[in-house]
Amino acid sequence: MIDFSRTELTNFTIHYVGNKGLGEELTLSDKEVKFKDDFVKETLLRYFLTPFKTDIYHQFKGKVDISLNSVANICEDIFTSRNKFMEQSKLAAEHLYNQSMHPKVKGGEFYTCYFRDAVVDGELCDAIGFFKTENKESYLKVYQHVDEFDVDCDNGININKLDKGCLVFNTEKKKGYKISIIDNNNRNAEIALYWEEDFLNATIKPNGYYHTKNFIDASRGFCEEVLTEANNVQKQDQMMMLNKSTGYFKEKDKFNIKDFEKDVLVEPKLITAFKDYRSDFNKKLELTAIDEFDVSQTAVKKNQKYMKSVIKLDKNFHVYIHGRHDYVERGYDEDKGLKYMKLYFVNEE
């Protein structure tokens, strides 16, 4: 959990980072921005910090050669000495510019911020923020002159839509710091990792979110690849297992593999089959099997859309099944040469 209720923005710079591959410019400021009033300062604080709410954390993959620019080195230098803030913000802008080679990467303003007194998972610490605006929106300004009105149009930044952002918290330094990342312009597969990997060189942190997501992915893969009609498992039985798995994570604060086997898998053959599948799944993705961890409801919600509860019958019917799979009966009508499904219920709503 992240709490910014007492956070203060103490240092702030703006540079412009164009697309180097297209020959666009890199424009570096020589001075920090001084705020005209508290309203502007508070608006910027809200713009930068409001999107960071989840328990999804990253960490730097590791320090590179000290002679090279890296965000990890830049953050360490700033945390060590705030006097280096301006110098290091320029190095961060130059580093981002050197990664901006793909023709679809948009140029934009690049901000470096120093925040004092953020609370992350109960720990009070400072944070460094890196942000980039890539999209501008048109807006109208209406002026009143006594009994007449005038209207004008301009382009500006929507403070409710942060394009790209990153907060590096001054904690867990030996593990690569604790980092929270926002990237709302990553739908293009060709440049999806431009901010997270090319610029930040970060990877997801192995915490509750990470472990919950990986286990749910393994459970879904097991249902979709092993519990199939080809293996004599009916569709509603596959969905029942998916729903039971989702229900388990919704109800639990802590995960334990033995509880999962007892509550969800139940049958010894199913337990053995899942163990084999999970072992192969972890090897392919180079994951370490973790059998106890804190359940992240953020990961549960993000993966819930994949836990389908609908059976599609040709192009004519969609049957939604959310529970009581024992009320569903399937069969084959030899006279018609068609499969059928029979549903039992108590009340019609």
232 and 310 inside one domain: yes
Question: Which domain, by its residues, includes 195?
Answer: 2-134+161-205
Q: What is the pLDDT of residue 145?
A: 84
336 and 226 inside one domain: yes
User: Cα 242 vs. chain centroid, distance in angstroms?
Assistant: 23
188 and 217 inside one domain: no
CA 297 – CA 113 distance, rounded (Å): 30
219 and 113 inside one domain: no
Within-domain flag for 155 = no
CA 144 – CA 139 distance, rounded (Å): 17
CA end-to-end distance (rounded Å), the chain: 40
182 and 299 inside one domain: no
Residue 334 has pLDDT above 60, yes or no: yes
67 and 191 inside one domain: yes
Which helix (H) or strand (E) element contains residue 254? strand 254-256
pLDDT band for position 103 (cuts 50, 70, 90):
very high
199 and 237 inside one domain: no
Mean pLDDT along residues 147-157? 89
State the pTM of this model. 0.78
Query: How many alpha carbons fall within 13 Å on the CB side of residue 52?
Result: 31
Q: Which of 50-59, 90-99, 329-338 has the weakest average pLDDT?
A: 329-338
190 and 45 inside one domain: yes
Within-domain flag for 156 = no
Instruction: Pick from 45-54, 125-134, 288-297 the range whose average pLDDT is largest.
Output: 125-134
277 and 171 inside one domain: no
Within-domain flag for 288 = yes
Within-domain flag for 151 = no
Q: Which of the listed residues 152, 182, 205 is the one where a domain comes to its end? A: 205
Residue 25 has pLDDT above 80, yes or no: yes
CA 88 – CA 96 distance, rounded (Å): 12
Would you give the DSSP letter of residue 175?
A: G
Q: Which are the contacts of 45, defined by CB distance < 8 A and separation ≥ 6? A: 4, 7, 9
197 and 216 inside one domain: no
295 and 199 inside one domain: no
Residue 227 has pLDDT above 90, yes or no: no
How far CA 310 is from CA of 175, 216, 235, 307, 348, in Å, comes to: 42, 19, 9, 9, 19
Q: What is the pLDDT of residue 341?
A: 78
Q: Which of the listed residues 182, 205, 228 is the one where a domain comes to its end? A: 205
Please tell me the total count of domains within the chain.
2
Q: Which of 2-6, 31-35, 267-271, 325-329 has the weakest average pLDDT?
A: 325-329
Mean pLDDT along residues 204-218? 91
Within-domain flag for 109 = yes
The two tokens of residue 72 are 């990890």
CA 226 – CA 221 distance, rounded (Å): 8
Within-domain flag for 142 = no
- Measure the CA angle with vertex 291, ends 208 and 280; round to 5°: 105
Within-domain flag for 48 = yes
Q: Which of the listed residues 178, 205, 232 is the one where a domain comes to its end? A: 205
CA nearest 28: which of 126, 80, 97, 125?
A: 97
Q: What is the pLDDT of residue 9?
A: 95
The two tokens of residue 293 are 């961890």
201 and 303 inside one domain: no
